[in-house]
A and B are shown apart, each in its own frame.
Chain A
């Protein structure tokens, strides 16, 4: 089996909470809120699940130490799906039916989430909602499943549109796509295609890879396919291991001068680490990277939420429980993914607070809809409503400078097509 299913009843409830009589109201008792999570903690994309979890945990830990929400600490019940759809479905069924969690939170990936959404519809009488999945795909934003999920981050459509618009603006109209052969890749591919059509252009070439591809894999065939299309930029819709392997082979095979753009899901720090580790000439492989992000730079300490995030990450140094760590992974002190997890948790706590003294699943949707112009601390206000199930719209662009991702200020200066 590709994935290892690991169960962890991860109690964030600190031991200083007194044990009270557990009166169960469906995932929420007098003792605690239980949030259910299925995410990648093993496999080539484990860095995403781990970083997202660490960021969220930093905020939950802070809230729990301060007394929880309405006196109830927040506990996450976590399963590992290895970024594979079938385990994600099994885990979600267990979370909803057996564990009876209050809500689903912090899922990772389009192919997994896409397969879980029908479950939410199937069990809609339980008022189960999915909060803030780490994916920008359309299925959880649109009918028929949009009513069962709430998103915080911008969509892949917004990320790809921004990349295409900026490339076209600097004279790079011939755009190729390298993508994961699944729902995630198709979602990004569709976004690029739609954005290009607005400029009267089409995708000039496309190549795919299988989900789960490792950095050690060879991408020569994919590079050859795209080289033959003579692109002026390539937009990659994949995970960090595969996209780093593609960038490595693209540079080695002479796809020179062609910017390689990646979406936020890629996990920028992990990608950079793979391309840089043990190399003296890392700039060769990273100079042409441009990664879109759905949260601002964690280096920008002028942003209040970034200061708070850095403070909590340093103060609590959240670690993935040993039971979930089946493969070696060294977490980053800060990352875009963990910052996103942090913001997810911050908004989640605000929603739980708005449920009042008698929280129930039935009141969740209305509680979310009361979020109007909520200042989450990054300069962009968050709003939800019956027709608005995505909180943030902002997309940020980053490039590698001196071994780290920094905000891209001038597309023309960096990527102008002088050919």
Chain B
């Protein structure tokens, strides 16, 4: 039976796996929290911007409609709202006269039931979900202080969602790239630290086997590894011959 000390075959890199895992988790946590914050910020700001723009557009149409309405020229009125429909994000526009009758609109194949039964003369901002069309933010503006009717403009919330997705997507790409670089860097650094540890371990095992290995490179190191190597050699030299 040998008296040799049992030296487990420990790979030093295992000691650093938690560090790598920690780095990974840190990036994940930063990415997640930033994304949540970003979604909230982009959604809030875009929604506010779109609602503001929509109100501006609705007011512009309302102001431009007065003369046309008074001339009872609905073709010109339709032509006017058709031009605004070309602005990105605007999905529908409708105009109701003072009686609440729909006198111009851009819906195809027809005015949705949800809008038909709603208050066409309201100027409140509402959120609508129209089957087959999507989700919208709808704003209104009175024509001639409301005595000539109301213009209502529907902005596509899907566009806002798309912009959020794009912003989050770009951010996630950034995190993935930075995270991957971080993990690679961590592995490289761990390997860099693990190599002298492995040599120290091998040196300690040799000492335990009563070998007297010459390892000047290790013993001359001016760091923790060098100190430990010299300490191991010191302890080994102090052992009584019986202990050996």
Contacts and interface: CB of A to CB of B under 8 A. Distances in A.
Nearest to A225: B110
Contacts of B104: 186
Interface stretch (B40-48, B70-78, B175-183): B70-78
Given A115-B79, A210-B108, A221-B109, 14 more contacts: A138-B73, A138-B75, A181-B106, A182-B78, A182-B79, A182-B82, A183-B75, A183-B76, A183-B79, A186-B75, A187-B74, A206-B111, A208-B110, A225-B110
Interface in B54-111: 67, 71-79, 82, 103-104, 106-111
Given A186-B104, A187-B74, A114 B110 contact: no
Given A142-B71, A143-B71, A186 B77 contact: yes
A208 B75 contact: no
Interface of A: 85, 110-111, 114-115, 137-139, 142-144, 181-187, 189-190, 206-210, 221-222, 225
B79 A114 contact: yes
A137 B199 CA distance: 94
Contacts of B103: 190
Contact of B110 (A137, A206, A210): A206
Nearest to A209: B108
A208 B77 contact: no
Contacts of B77: 186
A209 B110 CA distance: 8
Among B71, B72, B73, B77, max chain A CB count under 10 A is at: B73
A181 B111 CA distance: 11
B71 A185 contact: no
B217 to A, nearest CB: 74
Contacts of A181: 106-108
Given A137-B75, A187-B75, A111 B82 contact: yes
Among A110, A184, A190, max chain B CB count under 10 A is at: A190
A208 B67 CA distance: 26
Among A85, A137, A181, max chain B CB count under 10 A is at: A181
Given A111-B82, A183-B82, A139 B108 contact: no
B109 A114 contact: no
Contacts of A186: 74-75, 77-78, 104
A139 B109 contact: no
A114 B76 contact: yes
Among B79, B103, B111, max chain A CB count under 10 A is at: B79
Nearest to B106: A181
Nearest to A211: B82
Nearest to A194: B72
Nearest to A223: B109
B109 A208 contact: yes
B110 A110 contact: no
A183 B78 contact: yes
Given A143-B71, A182-B82, A222 B110 contact: yes
A32 B58 CA distance: 48
Contacts of B76: 114, 138-139, 183
Contacts of B67: 144
A190 B109 contact: no
Contacts of A185: 78
A225 B109 contact: yes
Nearest to A178: B109
Contacts of B111: 206
Contact of A110 (B72, B75, B106, B108): B75
Contact of B109 (A137, A183, A222): A222
15 contacts: A85-B79, A110-B75, A111-B82, A139-B79, A142-B71, A183-B75, A186-B74, A187-B78, A189-B74, A190-B72, A190-B103, A207-B109, A208-B110, A210-B108, A225-B109
Contacts of A190: 72, 74-75, 103
Contacts of B107: 181, 208
A207 B110 contact: yes
A185 B108 CA distance: 12
A203 B166 CA distance: 45
A222 B74 CA distance: 22
A92 to B, nearest CB: 15
Contacts of B75: 110, 114, 137-139, 183-184, 186-187, 190
Contacts of A209: 108-109
Q: Across chains A and B, which 3 residue pairs bring their CB atoms closest together, nearest first?
A: A186-B78, A187-B75, A183-B79
Contacts of B82: 85, 111, 182-183
B162 to A, nearest CB: 22
